[in-house]
Amino acid sequence: MTQVIEKIFDLESHPLKEMPFRNACKRILDDKGVLVLKNFLYDSVIADICADGEQQKHLAYYTERKHNIYLAPSDEKFPEDHPRNRLITSSKGCITSDQIPENSALNALYNSSEFKQFLCAVLSEKELHAYADPLSSINLHYASKGQELGWHFDNSSFAITLLLQKPQAGSVFQFVKNVRNADAGETQYSDVEKILNNDVAVDSLRMNPGDLVLFRGRNSMHRVTPAMGDITRMLVVLAYNSKPGIALSESARLTFYGRV
């Protein structure tokens, strides 16, 4: 597996096994809520994955949906224009784990014990497991002109993404750190409203193809602005669970992928 991984990225620039490197990455993630490993993938690997993505693009399931920032049903205790219930638009295309070619570098990276051990160290997780269903572990997202991800909080404690292809403009990842404390039940609706009304300065993350990003989005509001131009943005989401045997619900799979 090490030989395969060495063909995917430069272990000298990203020494995943070395404790000083792991500790430095963990400090950055803990402090800033986001870690970006620049130029993580070799250019040749990016090209191969993008070529596969173009070939599989016709299989993508495209959705445009309205949702609140909590990705939860509306709360009737509040009016429709309250921050708890205000609707945001998100739109994208997606292919799923079973549509990723078996020989793709994405599968090799995702299943690499070395990569998962690095992630565990940085994310303070004991172990990481693939989804039990055949769709949810590796998702390749497409954002064509005008498509975007609206403001939201993640339900999971961390997200792992790899940017493969940038659009000509737009698709800027924006976030506001530590808007709430979900575990403590803090809602901070007033702060949420300011963000939705564009009354708060936001941080922007400029990513380039091949960059690996670890982001803690459970308490940090974030979005991706609309893509601009004729080049489709392609981004991979690598999703893990802390326990084995967990599958995305059938209703969620129908919503996100159009099938179970």
pTM of the full structure:
0.93
- Domains along the chain? 2-257 (2.60.120.620)
244: pLDDT strictly greater than 50: yes
Average pLDDT value for the chain: 94
How many alpha carbons fall within 13 Å on the CB side of residue 14? Answer: 22
pLDDT band at 4, cuts 50/70/90? confident
CA 174 → CA 71, 202, 207, distances in Å? Answer: 18, 6, 11
pLDDT band at 252, cuts 50/70/90? confident
Which residues neighbour 54 within 8 Å (Cβ) at sequence distance 6 or greater? none
186: pLDDT strictly greater than 90: no
What token pair was written down for 158? Answer: 């961390």
Express each pLDDT in 77-132 by its tens digit. Answer: 999 999 999 999 999 999 999 999 999 999 999 999 999 999 999 999 999 999 99
How far apart are alpha carbons 204 and 195 in whole angstroms?
14
Express each pLDDT in 43-73 by its tens digit. Answer: 999 999 999 999 999 999 999 999 999 988 9
Buried b (16+ CB within 10 A) or exposed e, 58-74: eebeeeeeebbbbeeee
Q: From 149, 140, 144, select the one nearest 228 (Cα to Cα).
A: 144
- Cβ count near 102 (within 10 Å): 6
